[in-house]
């Protein structure tokens, strides 16, 4: 590995995209009960009716966001619980927990990072007309999965 330890460099040298994809695959298979195949581009961008965010701070600084439509978020919740969501709060909770597990699973797969990196509790934004802008100046990796016909985007933005 290079002596340049910037995360932009590390992300390129270590190729974090497949690590992120594996983290997503494991969470979906184990907790959602569905095998998904992440792809680097989607024919259709997800409707951003729900966005879950988990921050990373410490040796790795950044944010991981998961976006999907209301319908897809409801389907994810139902798949996790085995029954339909009883409230929108439950849908937000489920998406936030998926985001939390993907972020933690990704972090745990990065050598030398996990001990000195903390996760925030999840935040979930719901609505229609909004955009999420990170102030981070660094690297951004986005991958997509299709869940029950609906696209779900997963974006990792890491500060340099």
Query: Is position 103 an interface residue for other proteins (rule: CB under 8 A)?
Result: yes
State which of positions 112-131 bind other proteins (CB under 8 A): 114-115, 118-121
**Among positions 69, 93, 125, 134, the unique one binding other proteins when judged by CB under 8 A:** 93
Q: Give yes or no for a contact between 79 and 32, defined as CB atoms under 8 angstroms apart.
A: yes
Return the number of the residue (105 or 142) whose C-beta is nearest other proteins. Answer: 105
Instruction: Catalogue the E-assigned strands of the chain.
Output: 50-58, 62-68, 117-119, 123-126, 138-147, 150-159
The tokens for 1 are 């590995």
- By the rule CB under 8 A, 26 interacts with other proteins: yes
- List alpha helices for 63-87, DSSP H: 70-81
Cα–Cα dist 57/118, whole Å = 5
Q: Which of residues 30-89 bind other proteins (CB under 8 A)?
A: 30-31, 77, 80-82, 89
Residues that bind other proteins (CB under 8 A): 26-27, 30-31, 77, 80-82, 89-90, 93-94, 96-97, 100-101, 103-105, 107-108, 114-115, 118-121
């Amino acid at each position: 590995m290079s002596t340049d330890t910037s995360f932009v460099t590390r992300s390129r040298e270590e190729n974090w995209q497949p690590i992120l994809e594996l983290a997503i695959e494991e969470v979906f298979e184990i907790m959602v009960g569905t095998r998904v195949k992440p792809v680097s581009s989607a024919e259709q961008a997800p409707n951003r009716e729900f966005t879950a965010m988990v921050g990373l701070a410490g040796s790795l600084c950044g944010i991981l966001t998961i976006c999907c439509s209301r319908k897809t978020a409801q389907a994810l919740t139902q798949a996790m619980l085995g029954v339909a969501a009883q409230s929108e709060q439950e849908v937000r909770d489920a998406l936030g927990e998926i985001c939390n597990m993907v972020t933690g699973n990704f972090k745990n797969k990065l050598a030398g990072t996990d001990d000195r990196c903390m996760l925030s509790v999840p935040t979930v934004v719901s609505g229609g007309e909004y955009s999420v802008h990170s102030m981070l100046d660094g690297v951004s990796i986005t991958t997509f999965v299709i869940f029950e016909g609906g696209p779900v985007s997963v974006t990792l933005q890491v500060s340099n």
